[in-house]
């Protein structure tokens, strides 16, 4: 049996990954989000606010005696309010760091700790962003968190190599530009808060956005054969 723990399964890319995985009767999915929109006999929902580190620290990964594969997909994320630094809300800065960077770090730490003696294939995929590689005005906190996710993941990969833990694979994978609520929020931004808003409106109008199911299938290909992927940080566009 394969066990998948996926954050942000109520809509968008995370819901698509969960739904595609559930099509295989060998797969069990545990999803985390504030809302639940999946009903399935092999789906368990954890109603949680991942921007609250106390809630994340309280959650414990279960014993999995019959597992053949275990995976954690840190997908939940937010842009926060799109605004220039100096106009940001202090509490929201903290929440965005918590959701995008602290919660993946906490979950990855407890995942690796819980399953350290389990020799089955273990995969951690952090859903990153091109915004973690280049600055985008109005998105400073988001850019910083995604850059953090990339380097966090690269460091784990280094540690796993030193520890010779060949059954554990870690990746930080950007999904490209995907037609989800996050993109709807971007298109609503004020031009004074985000100089490139028109480009993103054009992406939608020119049907440039990828559909979540197509992107999710790329993540499934990594989960199916992690040994085929030699880079730690890459984009689904490279697959």
Q: Which residues are catalytic?
A: 142
Residues 173-202 that bind ligand NAP (CB under 6 A): 174-175, 177-178, 180-183
Q: What are the residues facing 61 on neighbouring strands?
A: none
Orientation of helix 212-224 relative to helix 12-22, angle to 10°: 60
Residue with smallest beta-carbon separation from ligand NAP: 12
Tokens of 45: 């929902």
Compute the chain's Rg from CA coordinates: 17
Q: At its nearest, how many Å lie between ligand NAP and the CB of residue 116?
A: 26
Among 2, 3, 14, 71, binds ligand NAP (CB under 6 A): 14
Residues 137-156 that bind ligand NAP (CB under 6 A): none
Q: In the complex with ligand NAP, which residue's Cβ is closer, 163 or 208?
A: 208
Which x/- pattern, by CB under 6 A, does the window 59-88 give for ligand NAP?
----------------xxxx----------
Sign of CA dihedral 13, 181, 141, 32: negative
Q: For the chain, where are the alpha helices, taking DSSP H only?
A: 12-22, 53-58, 90-97, 103-114, 140-163, 181-187, 197-205, 212-224
The span from the CA of 28 to the CA of 5, in Å, is 9
Q: In the complex with ligand NAP, which residue's Cβ is closer, 8 or 148?
A: 8
Q: Kindly list the residues in this chain that would bind ligand NAP in the complex (CB under 6 A).
A: 8-14, 33-35, 48-51, 75-78, 99, 127, 129, 174-175, 177-178, 180-183
């Amino acid at each position: 049996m394969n066990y998948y723990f996926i954050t942000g399964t109520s809509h968008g890319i995370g819901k698509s990954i969960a739904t595609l995985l559930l099509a295989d009767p060998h797969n069990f999915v545990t999803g985390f989000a504030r809302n639940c929109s999946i009903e399935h006999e092999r789906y368990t929902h954890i109603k949680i606010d991942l921007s609250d580190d106390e809630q994340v620290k309280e959650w414990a990964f279960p014993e999995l005696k019959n597992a053949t594969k275990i995976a954690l997909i840190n997908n939940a994320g937010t842009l926060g309010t799109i605004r220039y630094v100096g106009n940001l809300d202090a509490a929201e800065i903290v929440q965005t760091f918590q959701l995008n960077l602290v919660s993946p770090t906490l979950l990855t730490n407890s995942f690796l700790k819980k399953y350290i003696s389990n020799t089955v294939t273990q995969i951690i995929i952090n859903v990153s962003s091109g915004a973690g590689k280049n600055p985008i005005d109005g998105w400073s906190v988001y850019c910083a968190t995604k850059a953090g996710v990339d380097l966090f993941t690269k460091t784990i990969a280094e540690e796993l190599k030193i520890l010779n833990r060949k059954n554990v694979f870690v990746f930080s994978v950007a999904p490209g530009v995907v037609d989800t609520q996050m993109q709807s929020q971007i298109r609503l931004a004020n031009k004074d808060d985000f100089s490139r808003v028109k480009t993103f409106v054009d992406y939608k109008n020119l049907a440039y956005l990828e559909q979540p199911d197509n992107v999710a299938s790329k993540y499934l290909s990594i989960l199916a054969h992690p040994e085929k992927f030699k880079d730690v940080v890459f984009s689904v566009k490279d697959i």
